[in-house]
Amino acid sequence: MFKNLEGNRIPDVTFRTRRDHEWVDLNSNELFAGKSVVVFSLPGAFTPTCSSSHVPRYNQLVPSFKANGIDEVICVSVNDAFVMNEWQRAQKADRLTFLPDGNGEFSEGMGLLVGKEDLGFGKRSWRYSMLVRDGVIEKMFVEPEEPGDPFHVSDADTMLKYIDPDGALPHDVTLFTREGCPFCVSAKGMLRDAGIEFEELVLNRDYTDTTLRAVASATSYPQAFIDGQQIGDSEALKGWLESKQYLQARTAA
C-alpha cells in the first residue's frame, strides 16, 4: 500500500536538466519554494497512456491552473534529460515543465518507485499527481495498486476539480478549414476574440474532403465541433457564441 504523504515536504533532490546544450542542475528548493505547483508523475516518456492522455490534457489545462493561482505544472518521469526534452517537443507541450528523474531519486523519495522489469523498463515511477505549496504536499492522487497501468485519479481534470470545485472546464474546439476561405478566417477570429482556444485542421494538409463528409456530412467550410457536438459553419458558430454570451461580452468590453 503506497503511503499518503500529504502534509510532508517533497524529497530534497537535484534534477539534471538540459537546456541549450548545457547541463542545468535544479534542486527541489529552486523548483518549489514559495510556489504553488502541480506535479504529475508517470511511468515513461513516449508510452501510450502518458502520450495520448496524461500529458496532453495537463498541457491544455495549464491556463486554467494558472487562473487558480498555480505557478507551474510539472511532469516527472524516470527518464534522462535528453529523452524528456525530445518528448516535450514531440508532444508540443510547451506549457509544462518536464523534469527528468533519471536515477529515480525523487520517485524513490516519494515512496513511488516501482519495478517494471516485466516490461523491460527497470525501476519507474508509479502514476500519481500532487499539489505542492511552498514545498509541502497539500493533496495527492495516487493510482490504485492494481495490475497494469491504472489511470483513474491522477488526470488533469481531477486535480483541477480539487483546486476549483465549481470552475468550468475550457471548451474542446476543432475547426475544419481550407486555405483561402474567408469564412474560415472569420470563424477563427471569432474564437480568438472570445478567448477560446481551438485546434485547426486544414484541408489536404491534415485531412481530405472524405474525412469531412464522414464526420460532418458536409462539404462547406469551416465546420466547427465543440465539446463533441457539430456546430456547423461560421454563421452557426456565431450563433453558438452569441448564445453563450461570448460575443456580447466582448462587445460590452
Residues 143-164: tens digit of each pLDDT: 999 988 999 999 999 999 999 9
Alpha carbons 17 and 23: distance in angstroms, whole number: 6
Cβ of 215: how many Cβ atoms within 10 Å? 14
Alpha carbons 179 and 205: distance in angstroms, whole number: 10
Kindly tell me the sign of the dihedral angle through the C-alpha atoms of 45, 50, 52, 56: negative
Residue 158: inside a domain, yes or no? yes
Q: 203 and 248: one domain? A: yes
Average pLDDT value for the chain: 94
Q: 182 and 106: one domain? A: no
Backbone angles phi, psi at 147, to 5 degrees: -60, 155
Q: 210 and 247: one domain? A: yes
Q: Which pLDDT score, from 0 to 100, does residue 249 have?
A: 46
Number of domains the chain is built from: 2
Q: 137 and 244: one domain? A: no
Q: 184 and 81: one domain? A: no
Task: Give me the DSSP letters along 107-144.
Answer: HHHTT-EEE-GGGT--EEEPPEEEEEETTEEEEEEE--
Q: Which pLDDT score, from 0 to 100, does residue 250 have?
A: 45
Given a cut of 80, whether residue 216 has pLDDT beyond it is: yes
Per-residue cell: 184: 474560415
Mean pLDDT to the nearest integer, 113-136 = 94
- For the chain, give the number of residues: 253
Residue 9: inside a domain, yes or no? no
Q: 104 and 186: one domain? A: no
Task: Give me the DSSP letters along 67-112.
Answer: HTT--EEEEEESS-HHHHHHHHHHHT-TTSEEEE-TTSHHHHHTT-
Q: Which pLDDT score, from 0 to 100, does residue 204 have?
A: 95
User: Which DSSP state fits 220?
Assistant: S
Residue 7: inside a domain, yes or no? no
Q: 51 and 71: one domain? A: yes
User: Which DSSP state fits 9?
Assistant: B
What CA–CA distances, in Å, run from 200 to 117, 185, 191, 197? 41, 11, 11, 10
Q: Which of 110, 131, 163 is the last residue of a domain?
A: 163
Q: 136 and 219: one domain? A: no
Q: 199 and 129: one domain? A: no
Cβ of 179: how many Cβ atoms within 10 Å? 10
Residues 78-106: tens digit of each pLDDT: 999 999 999 999 999 999 999 999 999 99
Q: 178 and 196: one domain? A: yes
Q: Which pLDDT score, from 0 to 100, does residue 100 have?
A: 98
Residue 94: inside a domain, yes or no? yes
Given a cut of 70, whether residue 224 has pLDDT beyond it is: yes
Which residues are known to be catalytic?
50
CATH number at residue 209: 3.40.30.10
Q: Which pLDDT score, from 0 to 100, does residue 251 have?
A: 42
Q: Which pLDDT score, from 0 to 100, does residue 247 have?
A: 59
Q: Which pLDDT score, from 0 to 100, does residue 248 have?
A: 53
Q: 195 and 156: one domain? A: no
Alpha carbons 32 and 21: distance in angstroms, whole number: 24
The DSSP H or E segment spanning 231 is strand 229-232
Q: Which pLDDT score, from 0 to 100, does residue 148 have?
A: 86
Q: Are 224 and 174 in contact (CB under 8 A)?
A: yes
Indicate the pTM of the whole model: 0.89
Residue 54: inside a domain, yes or no? yes
User: Which DSSP state fits 170?
Assistant: P
Confidence of residue 117 (pLDDT cuts 50, 70, 90): confident
Residues 15-59: tens digit of each pLDDT: 999 998 899 999 999 999 999 999 999 999 999 999 999 999 999
Q: Which of 163, 181, 216 is the last residue of a domain?
A: 163
Q: Are 43 and 107 in contact (CB under 8 A)?
A: no
Q: 28 and 146: one domain? A: yes
Q: Which of 107, 129, 163 is the last residue of a domain?
A: 163
Residue 1: inside a domain, yes or no? no
Confidence of residue 183 (pLDDT cuts 50, 70, 90): very high
Residue 5: inside a domain, yes or no? no
Residue 242: inside a domain, yes or no? yes
Mean pLDDT to the nearest integer, 120-126 = 92
Cα three-residue angle 181-184-185, rounded to 5 degrees: 90
Instruction: Find the domain containing 89 and state its range.
Output: 14-163
Q: Which pLDDT score, from 0 to 100, does residue 219 have?
A: 87
